[in-house]
Structure 1
Amino acid sequence: MNPALWISKTGLAAQDRQMSIISNNLANVNTVGFKRDRVSFEDLFYHIEKQPGALSDQQNTLPSGMQVGSGVRITGTQKVFTPGNYQTTNQALDLAIVGNGFFQVTMPDGTAGYTRNGQFHLNTDGTIVTAAGQPVEPNIDVPADATSLTISEDGRVMASIPGQVDPIELGQMTLVSFVNPAGLEAKGGNIYIQSAASGDPIEGAAGTEGLGNIKQYTLETSNVTVVEELVNMISVQRAYEMNSKVISATDQMLQFANQTL
């Protein structure tokens, strides 16, 4: 295959994959706690036809040589854990983490999952759970006759009970942090799980050990910036078009060469 055709093919594949990442970001612009992805590129190996610094004659050396690249590829994607905007609600179980950290939930298989989505609910047992029914760790059960819930910035959950003057403490929510949160594995459903790259979870009370505070009646919105994603989309589209034009131009050159032979 003509090298220019192959190089352009790698460019088309890379830009197509980046467009998929951008479309996923835009699709989740209203997903609570969603963190946008960004793409990392790298150039492929080079054909060294003339080594830089090699002798060009008995007295002189080549200043740059001749190195011909073979295209581009995507090396990976990275979650960008910058904070989103904060939206005030009127739901007592809408919680946002202001700062670093994740809520910890129990997955169906018993393993731990982590999320920034604090849009919680009560199940039939009165346990605080996610929208998918995953219990928040540590488990906190709310009495059926509780009239109101108050969750402090450090995660203490208090409930007002009819007939009692003072609210009762039901438990304390804890947060979890990681040395490398970008290394967490995204499972969908606003859930991340630990990976070898993320490091071990570090659990603690909100507001301690570098963890953020918990804000009640608040949700953290997606950190996707629509204008930025649209600009990136236009840039990807133009790059895709240019790679397509290189294929067309190379094809015309090959046709001309065949006709002249």
Structure 2
Amino acid sequence: MDSLFFIASKLAWGLLQPGSWLVGASALALLGLILNRRRLALIAGSLGLALTLGFAALPVGDRLIHSLESRWPLPVDPASVTGIIVLGGAEETVFVPPGAQIRLNEGAERFTEGLRLALRYPEAKLVFTGGYASLTSRHGNQGEPVALRFYRDLGIDPARLVLETASRNTAENARLTLDLVQPAPGETWLLVTSAFHMQRALLSFEAAGWTGLIPWPVDYRADPSRLVIWDFPRNLRLTSVALREYIGLIAYSVFTP
């Protein structure tokens, strides 16, 4: 059932992401021209142009991302911490050229804040949870996990690290990490992930049976002060990220993966 949900979610997102709307509108416009259906071509072409101009000029992505991020203010360091949970997603796993370098993406603050917290609380366990989540590549995680190399090479004792590398989505992050860590009552655990993703992460961990986690949001991306922009790639990317989270929240609440 978990694999079915994972595959269905990947296929559904391929159709629902905003970039697919533009492709769909263009395809309909071309079909209208081929079939000599001028009305269809005009409507589809106008829709595609409107979407393109909207993504280029209006800060839709900033507004949507901000609505998720604003729920989570920056936290205050607690007096003591039992463990730090860092959710994957910041590491590049699809294709990593051979060599010693580590590739991180724009969510790299998940890794760097995990490092800061591990140095701030030297007695705390550092848990990384995240596996390979692609349907379209043959590469995946090869060799040592990125998290192990990153934290070990920057001075964290490997004995403090707990690595969970089998999960493919947030629900599996929660279930597999809970099984692996077995937290005791009264312990203080921090959950580190992107601010826009924190709501789904907390709900997933609570559904798995782990309550009392302290949310530790990072990777804030919105600029709520923007009124008009001209940055199509950035706005399309932010809109896609936010929409994916909203769809994920709905799917997780309905299907409880």
Provide TM-score, normalisation by structure 2: 0.24
Q: Select the structure that is richer in helix.
A: 2
Larger Rg: 1
Which structure is richer in relative contact order (CA contacts within 8 A, separation 6 or more)?
2
Provide TM-score, normalisation by structure 1: 0.24
